[in-house]
Amino acid sequence: MSGNKKINFSSGPAALPPEVLQEASEAIINYNNTGLSILELQHRGKYFEAINDESRTLVKELCGLGDDYEVLWLQGGGRLQFAMIPMNFLGEHESAGFIDSGFWAHNAAEYAAHYGNAITLSSSESDHYRHLPEWPASIPEDLSYLHFTTNNTIYGTQFPNVPKTNVPLIADMSSDILSRKTDYSNCAMFYAVAQKNIGAAGITLVAVNKYLLGNIKRKLPPMLDYKAHADARSLLNTAAVFGVYTSLLTLRWIKQKGIDVIETENNRKAALLYNEIERNSIFHSNIKKEDRSKMNVCFGTENKEIDTAFTEFCSKQNITGIDGHRYVGSFRVSLYNAIPLTAVEKMVSVMQEFEHEYLKAR
């Protein structure tokens, strides 16, 4: 990698491990000594079939899923999942439950309302999503499914685990998939856009229990029907070959490190940054301590002027991608798996230097 490589704390598309970037870039010129670029590989040829199969098997292995799950790589991002889930699993006169922990969770419910009843069981919207909503004490038995978002990318909150539920549980894990050990098989389905923890933008991982596939509510064109994608082993249309390959490389990297090690590192990274936010007199976090995300650390300063000065200060230190989401403002430092501890140490020292300079100038 060239010498000007930045420390990228972007929320997504996000930093990828350098090993993945290296191997992916070599494959663009000559994939595995085949004399072909990965960009030229046929999606129905033997080379891509092997990539597709290995990637789907690795997801199962890393998430501890049995053969009762289908793993798919779909296109259309998280938002298409917001639509496909109710299209497939919510009948017109049926209800689905939603835990409203933030913008994306809310959006998923809005999409579902086009197809059936979308019932919000719990929400922290009135507190600007500064804490997690309560997990509902009881979940109505007649819901077709319950949807929740494990990590709130925009406001920076995260559920501690994936609970067992009495109705099929569907989880949007876009911003914390494979960042920690969790009970993936408590979900009847979970999904994650690739561009945060498991690859590049353009594909979405879907893992769905086969029993749900027997329960599709309406006739759908194949591209919108999970069963058609599963029957085609995720090769219904031209696969996003390079995207799936980049995810395969990232999954291999995760496997080699081990989820235990990744989780320990992620805990350390988050603790280091939150401790500095608590200590530093310039920065503060409005997010309830127990609910804070280990993936997206959101914080602010007293006013916009200081925000701008800090952004410039970081930029001079080669740090980028720290702007908060446009709905929230201030700062968001994303600490996905590919961010090394050293990058967070650097961030903390820059925050300390900034405090020092700022107090001196005042």
- The whole-angstrom separation of Cα 235 and Cα 307 is 46
**Window contacting ligand PMP (CB under 6 A); options: 73-81, 114-122, 132-140, 284-292:** 73-81
Q: Are 287 and 146 a contacting pair, CB within 8 Å?
A: no
Active site residue 217: no
Closest separation between CB of residue 204 and ligand PMP, Å? 7
Q: What string marks each residue from 94 to 113 as x (binds ligand PMP by CB under 6 A) or -?
A: ----------x---------
Residue 325 interacts with ligand PMP (CB under 6 A): yes or no: no
Write the burial class of residue 220 (CB in 10 Å: 0-12 exposed, 13-18 middle, 19+ buried).
Answer: middle
- Of residues 5 through 24, those in contact with ligand PMP by CB under 6 A are 12
Cα angle 179, 184, 187; round to 5: 135
Q: Looking at beta carbons only, is 77 or 340 nearer to ligand PMP?
A: 77
Residue 340 main-chain phi, psi, to 5 deg: -75, 160
Q: Are 346 and 317 a contacting pair, CB within 8 Å?
A: yes
Closest separation between CB of residue 120 and ligand PMP, Å? 17
Options 104, 176, 225, 269, the catalytic residue: 104
| Total site size for ligand PMP, rule CB under 6 A | 11
Q: Looking at beta carbons only, is 27 or 338 nearer to ligand PMP?
A: 338
Closest separation between CB of residue 75 and ligand PMP, Å? 10
Per the listing, tokens 């894990």 go with 173
Residue 79 interacts with ligand PMP (CB under 6 A): yes or no: yes
**Which of 153, 182, 234, 247 is close enough to bind ligand PMP by CB under 6 A?**
153
Q: Are 119 and 147 a contacting pair, CB within 8 Å?
A: no
**Window contacting ligand PMP (CB under 6 A); options: 76-84, 131-139, 157-165, 229-237:** 76-84
- The whole-angstrom separation of Cα 175 and Cα 296 is 8
- Of residues 270 through 299, those in contact with ligand PMP by CB under 6 A are none
Query: Could you tell me which residues are beta bridge partners of residue 98?
Result: 120, 147
**Window contacting ligand PMP (CB under 6 A); options: 20-28, 74-82, 121-129, 342-350:** 74-82
Per the listing, tokens 């539920």 go with 165
Active site residue 196: yes
Options 73, 176, 196, 227, the catalytic residue: 196
Sequence-ordered strand ranges (E) for the chain: 7-8, 69-74, 95-100, 117-123, 146-149, 151-152, 157-158, 169-172, 189-193, 204-209, 296-299, 319-320, 331-334
Active site residue 104: yes
Options 73, 100, 172, 294, the catalytic residue: 172
- Of residues 156 through 215, those in contact with ligand PMP by CB under 6 A are 172, 174-175, 193
- The whole-angstrom separation of Cα 255 and Cα 253 is 5
Active site residues: 104, 172, 196
What does the binding site for ligand PMP look like in residue numbers (CB under 6 A)?
Answer: 12, 77-79, 104, 149, 153, 172, 174-175, 193
